[in-house]
Amino acid sequence: MATSFNKRELQKKKEQKRKDKQKRKEERKANSSGSLDNMIAYVDENGAITDTPPNPLMKQEVEADSIAISTPKKEAVEEPALTGHVEFFNAGKGYGFIKNTVTADKYFFHISNAPDDIAEGDTVTFELERGKRGMNAVKIGVMK
């Protein structure tokens, strides 16, 4: 069976690509020095990458204690207590909602975090704590 002209041309192209690839491979092998010294890079005193070793005279001594490896501690800053009004309170179930006077946000509270004499409409001070379903009012105090 005779091969078509197109098929012969494709075979010639494939063969030429193989020869070119082999030639490039041999050139890379011939030109590469392959020694470890040519592959090493150094960092100088300014942090730049160079191919020459750094000058030991330019080396600066650093005390290990002066290196900060973490973020500085926050100073204990007490947040001012928030104020609000008891908008809803169900004494039978032991929960209610406080509406912040500044932001008008409502926060859930449980009777265990409030004084016994709390009632609907009272002005209170409170702090916020993250709960399972959002922010909760805790450390509630009734203002007189």
Q: How many domains does the chain divide into?
A: 1
pLDDT tops 70 at residue 78: no
* Residue 98 burial by Cβ neighbours in a 10 Å radius (0-12, 13-18, 19+): buried
Which structural domain range is residue 113 located in?
A: 82-142
| 94 belongs to a structural domain | yes
Q: Please report the beta strands in 16-118, taking only residues with DSSP state E, as ranges in sequence order.
A: 42-43, 49-50, 82-90, 95-100, 106-110
First-last CA distance in the chain: 109
Parallel, antiparallel or unpaired: strands 95-100 and 82-90: antiparallel
For residue 64 the two structure tokens come to 């290990």
| 101 belongs to a structural domain | yes
Please compute the mean of the pLDDT values over residues 60-70 and round it to a whole number.
83
| 53 belongs to a structural domain | no
**Helix (H), strand (E) at residue 25:** helix 5-31
| 49 belongs to a structural domain | no
pLDDT-derived band at 125, boundaries 50, 70, 90: very high
pLDDT tops 80 at residue 19: yes
pLDDT-derived band at 60, boundaries 50, 70, 90: confident
* Residue 39, helix vs strand vs coil: coil
| 55 belongs to a structural domain | no
| 131 belongs to a structural domain | yes
| 136 belongs to a structural domain | yes
| Measured CA distances, 25 to 18, 19, 22 (Å) | 11, 10, 5
83 C-beta neighbours (distance < 10 Å), count: 15
Q: How many CA atoms lie within 13 A of 45 on its CB side?
A: 9
Q: What does the mean pLDDT of the chain come to?
A: 86
CATH, residue 87 = 2.40.50.140
| 37 belongs to a structural domain | no
